Amino acid sequence: MPKITVGAENGAPVELHYEVQGSGVPVVLIHGWPLSGRSWDSQVTALVEAGYQAVTYDRRGFGHSTPTWDGHDYDTIASDLHALLTHLDLSGATLVGFSAGGGAVARYILNHGTARVAKAVLASSVTPFLHVTEGNPEGGLDDGTIAHFEAGIRADRPGFVDQFLTLLYSAGGTSSVSEAQRLFGRDLANLASMRATLTGPSQFGRTDFRPDLAKFDVPTLVLHGDSDAVVPFHVSGRRSAATISGSELVLIEGGPHGLNVSHADQFNAALLDFLAR
């Protein structure tokens, strides 16, 4: 199981688990909250079969990476991603971020630039700014909702995760995946630490990525489902596409939040078409 050390906490190394599959132009897949790199299984297969190199990793506190107490802010998340790209000496990479992972792509470009990056993909992304404030009334996540999430996690994290995975794949109140697929996602989410799960809503909810998107200078694809019940299209995808100059928008009909799983064929087709150009 390959790992990279990205820091230390309480005298112990902070390690990120990563996997590299295939060869060719690298595509780095950044998972959402509270999942892991395994949530990209359908994309890894499609990418490698199409001649690309697929790189996945577990962010700190998720999957098989170190369950740290600190380091769940987006500056650290971007720094960890930069350490991975540097360790693997990747160049000309496409960064693909799902949900909270979209914020990682945005903060990476703001803090570390695009010397190693050729393209970017924001899928069901939390960008540009979810928090409802006086200056951002069109956001979709208010303080009461964040507090509700946190209370649910504190009281019964497994129960919260079970409900969230139902919502992740729901479109119009109906599940878009099999129960077995939903349970697989739930099992991935249950690997996350309590701390990483608990800090997520505030971090992805209250981080303003609007300055980050203004720094995008590479071709960018925005992928979103029109039935996303977690991060609705009008709150995120539409605004992100409008903010990033020259970006391409693909809206998947009937797609829930977890559309890379529920609508994997359409998602992969859009991704591969974008990569080929």
Task: Judge whether 43 and 264 are in contact, CB under 8 Å.
Answer: yes
- Please classify residue 89 by burial: count the beta carbons closer than 10 Å to its beta carbon, then call 0-12 exposed, 13-18 middle and 19+ buried: exposed
Annotation marks residue 228 as catalytic: yes
Out of 131, 228, 236, 263, the active site residue is: 228
Tokens of 58: 């577990």
Evaluate whether 221 touches 271 at the Cβ level (below 8 Å).
Answer: yes
Burial classification of residue 7, based on how many CB atoms lie within 10 Å of its CB (0-12 exposed, 13-18 middle, 19 or more buried):
middle
Burial of 70 (0-12, 13-18, 19+ CB in 10 A): middle
| Catalytic residue flag (residue 257) | yes
Q: Among residues 36, 39, 79, 99, which one is catalytic?
A: 99
Out of 72, 131, 224, 257, pick the active-site residue.
Answer: 257
Residue 68: partners with Cβ closer than 8 Å, 6 or more residues away = 9, 14, 60, 61, 193, 195, 196
Question: What amino acid positions are annotated as catalytic residues?
Answer: 99, 228, 257
